[in-house]
Structure 1
């Protein structure tokens, strides 16, 4: 009998899904049984939050909506941390959860396993859109609607619930043929023209490029505009890959250094493309522009949400194309390139005075071991914080919502789209994702996990010590990560700073899961502003 579960998977296939992530549960059995009758590839995770992070990682590297299938109540609620990260980073994840039978929805009857009086309410403040379907005939339209909303700017996660009896009940819906078309957000011509006028009149234009440039695939347009304006480009932590790292106009990503903060503030026109100028990009609100800010943003709600600006609402690629057609090309006189060199020399000199040779070498060795084009995922860990500023290419981290445990499950999801993939965690963050070693092993995924073991929550240890003179609650008992990985059937290597480059390169070339453990006490470079000190 063709049932509601079949309609769900048929619709997902019709919309273009190929891989789904999730964890089964009692009320969702009809949905998971239907997977066996579909061409969808199912990657079964070990926890629902791991599945949510995996769907996030897969969506980031493919650029497509990625479905996440879970059960009711506790299973659904465990996805919230992953969906919050997807929302913060504009990642299109489609969460599909089962529900208790329709007769009990809204707490009318009570007594159902996993029952919440209003499960959907738990998700409304996290995702872009929620819906509960109440018949099989609603499923194709509800999923197509959610799919389109997930892709519409700003991209983000969506949530659809299907009651147990709808999943198991007969479906009279004909074979599904669903599709969606998401038009780009077209900017207003008069606003683009005003932005071009301001940039043409600028004596010291600077560009701050955010993740919206990458999501819009607008790298070529940004390079053209920066070259025409002779404008230095700083990339945000989420905008890595928006601009060539070694280009003479690349001021790189040292956003937590006051030299870069001042460099941005001194621009007479600062063009911000695809960034909301939030806490990290503004160096914890210490950025105070003295010139005019022009902000290009596809998310209407982020325009001027943190700083006054000329707000240009639209797709970054379309806006940059419009600007390129209007601004005048300037002669290359070397001034912008010289200003970039002075900035990076000042940052380098500051780092040189802090005794951070080990940290800089470790990050350099990780980069040297990773082939070009290999995706990397980073936890909220000291080496990850270094990577925000110093990693030269695209990278993915949980800096949107800032939760621990993101890197390895997300890398597992990315590896399901094709490996090799690198994940980097501290020992504290690694404890959140250990169960996904079983997922990587079961599916033979080419993901290498670097665990930097410093015996605790390293970045919190530094923050507390700097603020209070001592750290509390940061020191951790932890397992033998090498032995633990091997107990899952995953090869593991105990590395050293001297052997790290070779160990990582070998692991990444192994064709399957591999864990590399580096016992090391790394330090952050001294911040010019201690995050959240005013709240401590």
Structure 2
């Protein structure tokens, strides 16, 4: 039997933990990942795209995402995408090569190709953990620990670098590590139930709730509680569920609903600045939190009762302790708000865009939104048929996320609509070639306003001149055709038909200048 290399042992280990597809870019120091029997990494066109794709995979599947990049500039290129994964707690393992160990001299930088003084230090402020094994035996000691660390709540990306010459050495058998979840304490559940008992409750669904959506929906029905979801919790429960508000908390009607409750029950976090208007949204007098693990940072809003541990157990424990209540929220709130937005000349075209995307998606379609005005609308207002159907980079606000993250979601076997602006798409336009090479079912919707539309709005809102926000953009359909991607330019009226599901990649180009929604900070406090 042929020896298994260290590089192959990494690929085999991440597959066991859920990353059956690994995303990467080959370089002179990491070619061992593309050598030998077995599945090799899916090749993208930029290291940043590799980590965005791994993040998209993790958000879509709930499993580990994995990326491999080369030394020095290859690792540095991945940093922004790694930060985005950190901001939302995506379980991603990034493995970078390092210069050959035989050429390393402790404390010295000698100009070896791609050498850095401390490559791992680039990632340390963002990573949940950093590992720098320097021998095959050390890789075996820490590999499963690194994977378990990424998957243990609170989840987050883990960085590992391995010297180039070690990657090609025979692997050593390591010790398996496993992640575990804490059992919620009965006393904590009792205390939370005491705060909730007899109260008018509104439930906040954060990103940690996506794996316990059925239990959350049952508790919402039991308490008669409306559910408002943060960006990462969209689809908990599905928008068509009677308890789902289906709108962002930034809209005044939703903010008023939250403020009218006696208790806010926050399940799975995400009471962050972007969701709460920097903690200025109306909030009920009492707060109860359910989290799978202690958060890394102290919450901005202290809880009156906090339960830590397996969310499913906590939700079921509350249901068993509390009496049922009738629903108290008004019916038809989502319909009412969307009708208001559709009647407003400033936002009517954006509502048409959202409706077109909704009509084209299936129950399995994942919407991947970039940091663009169109992405803000779809990410905040499109219906969600279930959890893990939206990937949206609002955590770190990384422009250029949309197309490469769509690669990860599509590689996981889901049809994808990627909602991009012209500026963000150009940051990773080479990934159109990846779509073709892998024949991924991604419809790229480019909403082209000739520049950075959100920044243009910021300048107008501030009374400043428009400077630096207008861009030269290509003929997008012709550009897509150059890659062999079917493409068409449409008007807003024809958009829904153009977005209908397709088996392979395609591009739809829409020229439109949309007013940003209330989820964007310049509009947070409008009357």
TM-score tier (shorter)? over 0.9
Cα displacement string for residues 224-276 of structure 1 (whole angstroms, at most 9, x for unaligned residues): 11111111111112210111313333222222223322322332111011124
1:405 CA displacement: 0.6
Q: Aligned with 2:371: secondary structure?
A: coil
Task: Supply the distance in 1 between the matched residues of 2:464 and 2:171 (Cα, whole angstroms).
Answer: 68
1:212 aligned onto 2:208: yes
Q: 1:105 to 1:235 in 2, by over 3 A?
A: farther
| 1:236 to 1:172, Cα distance in 2 relative to 1, 3 A | closer
For residue 14 of structure 1, report the CA deviation from its aligned partner. 4.9
Q: Deviations over 1:280-325 (max 9, x none)?
A: 2212332243411111122413575111212222232221121112
**Does the CA-based 8 Å contact 2:446-2:510 persist in structure 1?**
yes
The answer to whether structure 1 residue 80 and structure 2 residue 79 are counterparts is yes
Q: 2: CA distance between counterparts of 1:109 and 1:356?
A: 56
State how far apart, in whole Å, the 1-side matches of 2:352 and 2:333 are: 23
Q: Identify the residue that residue 164 of structure 2 maps to in structure 1.
A: 164
Match of 2:68 in 1: 69
Establish whether residue 373 from structure 1 lines up as the match of residue 367 from structure 2: no
Q: Could you tell me the TM-score, scaled by structure 2's length?
A: 0.92
Aligned equivalents of 2:321, 2:26: Cα separation in 1:
54
User: C-alpha separation between the residues in 2 aligned to 1:151 and 1:259?
Assistant: 37
Match of 1:227 among 217, 221, 226: 221
User: Cα distance 1:438–1:61, how it changes in 2: closer, same or farther (>3 A)?
Assistant: same
Q: Does the C-alpha gap of structure 1 residues 107 and 532 become closer, same or farther in structure 2, counting only changes over 3 Å?
A: farther
- The residue aligned with 1:493 is 488
Deviation of 1:178 after TM superposition, in Å, equals 6.3
Structure 1 residue 319 corresponds to structure 2 residue 310: no
Give the Cα separation in 2 of the matches to 1:397 and 1:258.
Answer: 22
2:396 & 2:120 partners in 1: Cα distance? 21
Q: Is 1:116 the counterpart of 2:116 in the alignment?
A: yes
1:420 to 415, 418, 433: 415
Taking the aligned partners of 2:252 and 2:105, their CA distance within structure 1 comes to 54
How many residues are aligned here? 517
The partner residue of 2:262 within 268, 286, 298 is: 268
The residue number in structure 1 matching 2:90 is 91
Q: Say which is worse superposed, 476-485 or 290-299, in terms of deviation.
A: 290-299
Matched with 2:353 is 362
Q: Is the 2:246–2:334 Cα contact (8 Å) retained in structure 1? A: no
The 8 Å contact of residues 9 and 171 in structure 2, kept in 1 or not, is answered as: no
Cα displacement (A) at 1:445: 1.2
How far apart are the structure 2 equivalents of 1:100 and 1:161?
A: 10
1:405 matched to 2:400? The reply is yes
CA shift digits 1:464-493 (9 cap, x unpaired): 211234332111101111111111111111
* Residues 142-170 of structure 1, C-alpha deviations (whole Å, 9 max, x = no match): 2101100010001111111111221234x
1:200-239 deviations in Å (ceiling 9; x for gaps)? 131x21111111110xx21111111111111111111221
Report SS of the residue matched to 1:373: coil
Q: How many angstroms does 1:122 deviate by?
A: 0.6
Contact 1:15 1:178 in 2 (8 A): no
Q: For 2:520 and 2:510, how far apart are their aligned partners in 1?
A: 28
Q: Determine which of 197, 202, 208 is the counterpart of 1:200.
A: 197
> Kindly tell me: are residues 191 and 15 of structure 1, through their superposed partners in 2, closer, same or farther at Cα, counting changes over 3 Å?
closer
SS for the counterpart of 1:234 is strand
Query: Residue in 2 aligned with 1:517?
Result: 509
Match of 2:478 in 1: 483
Supply the distance in 2 between the matched residues of 1:6 and 1:342 (Cα, whole angstroms). 53
Q: 2:180 — aligned with what? A: 183
Q: Secondary structure at the match of 1:19?
A: coil
Q: CA RMSD in A?
A: 2.3
Is the Cα contact below 8 Å between 1:251 and 1:344 reproduced in 2? no
Say yes or no: does 1:126 pair with 2:120.
no
Q: TM-score, normalised by structure 1?
A: 0.91
Aligned residue in 1 for 2:52 = 53
Unaligned runs of 5+ in 1: none
Change (3 A) 1:274 1:172: closer
Aligned pair partner of 2:20 in 12, 18, 21: 18
| Structure 1 residues 525 and 69: CA distance shift in structure 2, 3 A | closer
Q: Which residue of 1 aligns with 2:43?
A: 44
- Structure 1 Cα separation of the partners of residues 489 and 175 of structure 2: 50
SS in 1 for 2:493: coil
